[in-house]
Structure formats: structure tokens, C-alpha cells
Amino acid sequence: MHTRLVPVLPRHYAALTRTRFLPQFNITNPTPSDKTCDSCPNQTTCPRSRTRHVSVKDDGTYDVVIVGGGCVGASIARELTKYNLSILLLESADDVTQGATKGNSGIVHAGFDDKPGSVRAKYCWPGNQILVLAKTKEERKVLDDLMERGRKNGVQRLKILEGKSVFEIEPFCNPNTIAALHSPDAGNLIPYEFAIAMAENAADNGAEVRIRRTVSAIEATDAGFEVTADHWEPKSYAKTMHGSEATVPEPEVNDSKAVPAAVIAALGAAGAGFLKSQPQFTDEMAMGVAAAALVLALIVFLSSSAKPNRVQGEGKAKDSRKPVGTGGSRVSVDEMMVGGSGSMSANDGVVVGTEKIKFIVNAAGGGSDKISAMIGDDSFTIKPRLGDYLLLNREQGYLAKHTLFPCPDPVLGKGVLVQTTLWGNLILGPTARDTYLKDKMDMTDEDVQKFILSKCKDLVPDFDSKQVIHGFVGARAKNSTGDWIIEESKVNSNFIQAAGIDSPGLAGSPAIAVEVVRLLQKNGLSKAKTKNFNPNRAPIITPKDGWKGIKAGPVGKFTDPKVNVICKCEKVTEHEVITALRRSLPIDSTQGIRKRTRAGMGHCQGDAENYNCECRVADVIARENGYGKKEEVGRRPWPATSTLPQRWLEESEKENLVELAKK
């Protein structure tokens, strides 16, 4: 997207400058809708978990409500803002793009492996380059099949490279490669940045976005639909909400941990009493035993009475590594369907209210079968297929110039690939683990890592497994029909399905959006275009020239936000964090900033003992959003979907990955 700088602050930003929360320096902003929300005129800060502007019509309805803020829902929202309409996007997670859209390979597929005639083939092609490597005569034949499929699907400029010509363009690929299918028209992108850009541009053009809203019921009415959504917030924040109906349960007392602590303390006291009665032991020695038992009991109690499943995240680097490395819970497959690491349970959330809204498009990805069933359309079910990845440090990115694929598997799809992301990291994966297959779900973290590393060594033998910095999982929304569902529901033609969009849905999302708008218009949605649609969005991240002009140091040392570095590994400045926060989408979590600025994306993954960037980011969010306490800022939970033992790996853990990579 192109850069556009707007010198004038829009109305609600101007209102914000009157508060003490906005430092006085210039940030350029795009122009969102100037229709500001009047539901809270007396508040000094903007409402949380939603855009500051609203799009609702005077009669209290919207023309279209989109359920799901992945790449599909965001693209549909943006496409709709080209017309004179009121649009609302509801997302269950704590940000847009927290579903399948954040956990994938980011390839804008060329469309050569989609079955000709399928819905996938229709929407994928209308999109850096791909090489599919063949190492045997059988695989060489598969390349011919893919060429033929590509031809039928209208994919252009495909060619097969033989022998040495492969190494001329990809010198580090497996030396046993005999040929490769070259697709120059494919590309890759950072999927979550794409979806954020689409959603933000939609909001800039007037669409209203609410996050942390899980749609829980839909009722057909004479005028359309009535949609009910549960609004949740992290408990830490909900406790601060005045007059809310939130029911915030008290933290559980973990009795199972208090008992052993009490037993140790009692045994210590009894032991001390016994020793004191023996002539060879002094009072001091007995006291020493009692004190040691007490300390031990205290350690057992404290280690166990911490909330068992959650990472709360405190602010100081001298705190234990817990907030950023260990101790949280794994995100379940069910949670992945409604926002993964941004979901209610991953964020220790609690429902704080419900709201009723009219009209609907179903773009709920892994949750789309449930949304469809809410209107009585149970024509499909989602059968999630997990895809695990390992991400390597940027220094490994030189090893792959193209996206390198093996020959595809007829059942498991495109296979495990090696590619360099746009930010220069080497990415390995994904797996294809169907959640209904026990053996796939029984795989241990090490099994998964071994699978990925060994398969990728087959494509590029020279990468360094010690350079793994991150692991994550995405869930493909495979569905029981075997193809994408882009149509009016057979139960109600005003309910449009953009459902069950598995790979390559990212590549297809702009074309899917155009089709969904066509279907809505066919059913009576206004076709009147707006003259004000602005397709552009200014970038958030500014290019750096090494450390020229920017400085990293203790909190508070550098006061110019353009100079002050918040994340050392990725050289993210405070200015970039503030820029993101003043954009039109709601951001009240460190995850949201991570995806927009890369703060916490580097090799230390936000480790408290390194530069503690997650806490620095939380400080800025709390200040900018006007929260009383940093604790109200949503944190990035751990381990969420990672298979790694902790965020910043120890040397022995890295050595283990090297062993796993050996077949």
C-alpha cells in the first residue's frame, strides 16, 4: 500500500490532545470516519476494544455486520467501504488477525496446485516466486502434473527448470534436486500485517470495528437479523470497570499447593523440636532447621499459588522470567477457532456485557460452522488441520531466495516448506495435523520439531537449527464439503457465507471480498459508491540505518520518542508504538503492538532479562490509552501455541534442536 501523510489530526484525535495522555509531538495519521462515538461524551479517554468512531445508522442498525476479523472479513469490510454503507466488523479475539490469518506461510499462491474447477482455483490465481523441488523421477512426473493443473487454472509463466539451472537461482537447495517447477507470479507477504492493513484501511474509510466480541446467537427478524455478541475483557481490566455488570470471579485458591507447604512447615517445626531435645544439637541448629523448613514451605506455596494457567506479566526486568518465558497454558484447538492467543481464555478474560446488532456476513474462519448453525444452516462442519512452524533468526534468511516446496502430497497438501519472510527470517513448516487423528494429536513438541526440522533439512541442508527463535501453530479451517464456501446460505439468502476458507485463503481473500459484495448487492444491498474512499495507508515502521539517530537505554533515559528504542532486537522506537496506537483500530494489548511494529519479534522474544520490551510497550499503551494501571493492558500469553520450552532458548535447548534435525 502507498504512503500518504495527512497533516491534520482528525476530530477525536484533536479531542485526545486535550487530555494529559498525549505527548505533544507530531504523528501523521490517516483520516478515519469523522463520525465520532457519542455514547461516552464525558469520558476523557476513548472506549476500549472498539474503534473510536461509529458507523451505525440513525435508526440504530448497520447495513452489514461481518463476523470475523481475519484476512477474509477484513478484505470484505474494506471492499464494502467503497460504497455508501454502514459497516460493523465483530471479532472475537483481542485484535483482528488472531485466527488462521496470523499463523500461516504468507504465500500468495500462484494457483497451480488447486483442483481445476474448484472454488479455490477460481479465486486463488486472480496474485516473489515459488520453486517446487523434485529429487526423484516420480517427483519429476508430479511437476508435469502441476504444470498441467496450472495451465487449466489459467496460471501464467510456469516453467520447469532442469538440473544445474535450479542451482543457478537457488544455490543452497538440496544437492540431489533434479528439477523444479518455477512459478514467477507467486509472492509472499506478512499475513497479519496484510490483514491489519485491510482492517485499518476499512476503519479509515468508516467501517466500525469491535474486538473482544464473540458472536453467540443470531436471530432472523423481519428486517434482517439480530446478532448477539458477548463482550469480554481481561479480568485485570474488568475489575477496574465502574458500574459494569461484569462478574469477576475471585482467583482460585490452589489448596493442593497450600497443603504440601503446610506439611513441610509442620515437619520442619516438629524436626526442630526433636533436635532441640537432643543434647548434641544446639538451639541455633534447631532454629536453623525450622527456618530452612519455613523457607522451603514458602517457596512451595508461592510457586504454586501463582495462578496456575495464566501469565500476568509484571513490569520490571528484575522480576523473574515468568512473564515472558514460562508458566502459561497451551492454547487449545477450540480457542484457536475464536482467536488463538488473543482469545478470551488465553487472556484470562471474563464476559462484561452483551450487545445486539442487525445483519450479517459469516467470515468466522474456524468458527464459521458455529455461526452458520446459529441460523439453522448446518450444511458443513469445520475439521481443523493444524500447521506448526519454527521461525529462525534473520541471519539465516539468505539461505532461500524463493519459497521452496517439496512435491505435494495428494492427501496432506503442499508440504513443509522453507522460505525467507519479508523481514528476513527463515521460516520452516507447516505440518498438517488433522485434529480428528489421534496419532497426529499425540505428537509431542519434540516430535513436531523433529518433523519440521528434518523435512526442511531435505530442502535446505545448511540452516542452523540453533537459530530457532519462535514456534507457532495455525489452524486451517478445512470443512466437510472439501472446498471453500462462498455463497448465500440456503437457509437465508441475506446471510452470506465466506466460510471454511483454508489455504490459499490469504491469496484468495481480495477476490473473495469482491464476490461477497456482489452476492450482497444481488440481494438488495445499495450499490451507491462513495466518492471519499481512500485506498492508501501510511506505513507504521520506518526504515532504520543501523543505530544512526536512535538509542537504547534504561526506561526514561531518552525522552524523544523518535530516538527512544523500545525493542532493541528489532530497533522499534517509541514513536512507532505511538503511531500504531493512534491509528483507527483499537489496540489494548502488547500482541497488537507486536504485530504492527515488531516489538518483541526479535531473537530474545521480549525477554525480561534482556531489554524487557513487552513491559516498555505496556507502559506506552497504558499512557496513550489513558489507563490508570499498566496491568490493564492485555499481554501476550505464553506458551500459547509455541512448541518451544521458553521464549529465549538456553544453549542446551538449542543443542537439542540440532539433535532433532538429524534424521
Ligand X SMILES: Cc1cc2nc3c(=O)[nH]c(=O)nc-3n(C[C@H](O)[C@H](O)[C@H](O)COP(=O)(O)OP(=O)(O)OC[C@H]3O[C@@H](n4cnc5c(N)ncnc54)[C@H](O)[C@@H]3O)c2cc1C
Structural element, H or E, at residue 613: helix 613-625
| Single residue of 103, 328, 602, 637 touching ligand X by CB under 6 A | 103
**CA 124 to each of CA 29, 256, 267, 502, 505: distance values in angstroms, whole numbers, following the listed order:** 33, 54, 68, 11, 7
- Do the bridges between strand 403-405 and strand 130-134 make them parallel or antiparallel, or are there none, so unpaired? parallel
> In angstroms, what is the minimal distance from the CB of 248 to ligand X?
22
Q: According to CB under 6 A, which one of 10, 32, 106, 586 is a site residue for ligand X?
A: 106
Span interacting with ligand X, options 8-16, 337-345, 461-469, 568-576, rule CB under 6 A = 337-345
Rounded Cα distance, 112 and 144, in Å: 11
Q: CA-CA distance, 522 to 106, in Å (whole number)?
A: 32
Among 99, 187, 471, 586, indicate the residue that binds ligand X (CB under 6 A). 99
111 contributes a contact to ligand X by CB under 6 A: no
**Minimum separation from the CB atom of position 503 to ligand X (A):** 4
C-beta of 612 vs 643, nearer to ligand X = 643
CB of residue 200 to ligand X, shortest distance in Å? 15
Among 31, 81, 86, 101, binds ligand X (CB under 6 A): 101
Q: What distance in Å separates the CA atoms of residue 640 and residue 341, rounded to the nearest whole number? A: 5
Q: Which is nearer to ligand X, 30 or 127 (CB)?
A: 127
What residues numbered 202-261 form the site for ligand X, per CB under 6 A? 214-215
Q: Beta strands 208-210 and 213-220: pairing type? A: unpaired
Whose Cβ is closer to ligand X: residue 173's or residue 229's? 229
**Interaction between residue 105 and ligand X (CB under 6 A):** yes
Q: Is residue 92 close enough to count as binding ligand X by CB under 6 A?
A: yes
107 touches ligand X (CB under 6 A): yes
Applying CB under 6 A, does 387 fall inside the site for ligand X?
yes
Tell me the closest approach of the beta carbon of residue 366 to ligand X, in angstroms: 5
In the window 397-436, what residues touch ligand X (CB under 6 A)? 430
Q: Which amino acid is at 399?
A: L
Stretch binding ligand X (CB under 6 A), from 57-65, 92-100, 243-251, 286-294: 92-100
Closest C-alpha to 384, from 374, 370, 404, 373: 370
Helix (H) or strand (E) holding 505: helix 505-522
Smallest distance from ligand X to CB 477, Å: 6
Q: What is the DSSP letter of 53?
A: B
By beta-carbon proximity to ligand X, the closer residue of 66 and 246 is 66
Cβ nearer to ligand X, comparing 268 with 367: 367
Using CB under 6 A, which of 80, 93, 186, 352 touches ligand X? 93
- Which residues are paired to 488 by β-bridges? 496
626: left (phi over 0), alpha (psi -120 to 50) or beta: left
> Are 491 and 485 a contacting pair, CB within 8 Å?
no
Site string for ligand X, 504-523 (x = CB under 6 A): xxxx----------------
Residues 6+ apart with CB under 8 A from 60: none
Beta carbon of residue 497, minimum distance to ligand X (angstroms, whole number): 11
Contact 354, 228 (CB under 8 A): yes
Q: How many residues line the site for ligand X (CB under 6 A)?
A: 44
Assess 80 for contact with ligand X (CB under 6 A): no
Cis peptide before 639 (omega within 30 of 0): yes
Q: Which residue among 10, 73, 315, 406 contacts ligand X (CB under 6 A)?
A: 73
Q: Which of 363, 391, 427, 649 binds ligand X (CB under 6 A)?
A: 363
From its phi and psi, is residue 163 left (phi > 0), alpha (psi between -120 and 50) or beta?
Answer: left
Question: Smallest distance, Å, CB 478 to ligand X?
Answer: 9
Does 338 help bind ligand X (rule: CB under 6 A)?
yes
Buried b (16+ CB within 10 A) or exposed e, 83-102: bebbbbbbbbbbbbbbbbbb
Question: Nearer Cβ to ligand X, position 165 or 379?
Answer: 379
Binding mask 22-61 for ligand X (x = CB under 6 A): ----------------------------------------
Residue the block writes with cell 544455490: 171
Q: Is 183 in the site for ligand X (CB under 6 A)?
A: no
Q: DSSP readout, 72-97? A: HHHHHHHHHTTBS--EEEE-SSSSTT
CB 55 within 8 A of CB 206: yes
CB 415 to ligand X: min, Å: 11
Which residue number, 206 or 340, has a Cβ lying nearer to ligand X? 340
Q: Which of 31, 98, 421, 494 binds ligand X (CB under 6 A)?
A: 98
What distance in Å separates the CA atoms of residue 209 and residue 64, rounded to the nearest whole number? 12
CB within 8 Å of 122: residues ≥ 6 apart: 511
Copy the grid coordinates of residue 362.
459469516
Which residue number, 348 or 369, has a Cβ lying nearer to ligand X? 369
- Nearest distance from C-beta of residue 211 to ligand X, angstroms: 9
Nearer to ligand X, 68 or 561 (CB): 68
Across the beta sheet with 208-210, the strand order is 208-210, 87-90, 64-67, 361-362, 496-499, 485-488
Residue whose CB is less far from ligand X, 92 or 579: 92
Q: Is the CB of residue 624 less than 8 Å from the CB of residue 592?
A: no
Nearest to 336 by CA among 412, 374, 388: 388
Q: What is the dihedral of CA 575, 190, 53, 234, to 10 degrees?
A: -80
Of 483, 502, 588, 624, the one binding ligand X (CB under 6 A) is 502
Binding map of ligand X across residues 468-487, x = CB under 6 A, - = no contact: ------xxx-----------
- By CB under 6 A, residue 68 contacts ligand X: yes
Q: Is 339 in the site for ligand X (CB under 6 A)?
A: yes
- Is residue 328 part of the contact set for ligand X (CB under 6 A)? no
Distance (Å, whole) CA 297 – CA 264 = 6
Q: Which stretch binds ligand X (CB under 6 A): 95-103, 135-143, 452-460, 557-565?
A: 95-103
Q: How far is the CB of 395 from ligand X (least distance, A)?
A: 23
Nearer to ligand X, 91 or 200 (CB): 91
Is 91 a binder of ligand X (CB under 6 A)? yes
71 lines the binding site for ligand X (CB under 6 A):
yes
Q: Which stretch binds ligand X (CB under 6 A): 99-107, 405-413, 437-445, 592-600?
A: 99-107
Query: Cα(1)–Cα(13) distance, rounded to whole angstroms?
Result: 23
Q: Supply the Cα-derived Rg of the chain in whole angstroms.
A: 27
Residue ranges in contact with ligand X by CB under 6 A: 67-73, 90-93, 98-101, 103-107, 109, 214-215, 337-339, 363-367, 371, 387, 430, 474-476, 501-507
